[in-house]
Amino acid sequence: MHRVLAETYPDAHCELDFANPFELLVVTVLSAQTTDKRVNAVRPALFAAYPDARAMAEADRATLEGIVGPLGFFRAKTESLLKLSAALVEEHDGEVPARLDALVRLPGVGRKTANVVLGNAFDVPGITVDTHFGRLARRFGWTDETDPVKVEHAVGALFPRKDWAMLSHRLIWHGRRRCHAQRPACGACPVARWCPAFGEGPTDPAEAATLVRTEGRR
């Protein structure tokens, strides 16, 4: 299944724009409960004003709220960014640590965010269990677990460590484009022959094709 998904999505990658580990950490935190497209839209103004952790830690709250406002929950997200940046300055001299244990101790950073940063900014293998990944792992019969950490460990045991980051991208792309939570495009799915959940969505190829998205959606 993974080999076919790799052929289906040869360009799979993190859909958040970033130029360095700090930017990736910040945009990943901001991506909660909004779309990558919206986060990418505010990114240029955000990092033009606050290019590093020191600058963001000293940001004027109202100004920062104005920049992240289009993302929703702007007060909570502003608070998260201020605390996160301050912790980076105080504990890591303004640099993003390249270790899971250090990342998850930062304010607002869980294992999912940490694995996104490790895999995409530092090339450290990790499995990113977002809602798409967890849903597909269960649909594919790879695990029955619902807790994201247990899903991460269960799926990690099935695949070589070197494949973890790209496996995450491919499952997330498949979940955003074909294997939707509601009405998955079963009849247009490249791994349908191995999927125990085949039939949860339309199996007619023509009908299923209308459900396929060319761009991802959270």
Burial class (CB within 10 angstroms; exposed 0-12, middle 13-18, buried 19+) of 167? buried
| Beta carbons within 10 angstroms of residue 123's beta carbon | 9
**Given 36, 130, 144, 204, the catalytic residue:** 130
Is 11 one of the annotated active-site residues of the chain? no
Residue 204 a catalytic site member: no
* Cα-based torsion angle of the residue sequence 3, 215, 135, 32 in order, rounded to the nearest 10 degrees: 130
What is the Cα–Cα distance from 178 to 169, expressed in whole angstroms? 14
d(CA 69, CA 164): 34
The catalytic residue among 37, 112, 123, 150 is 112
Catalytic annotation, residues: 112, 130
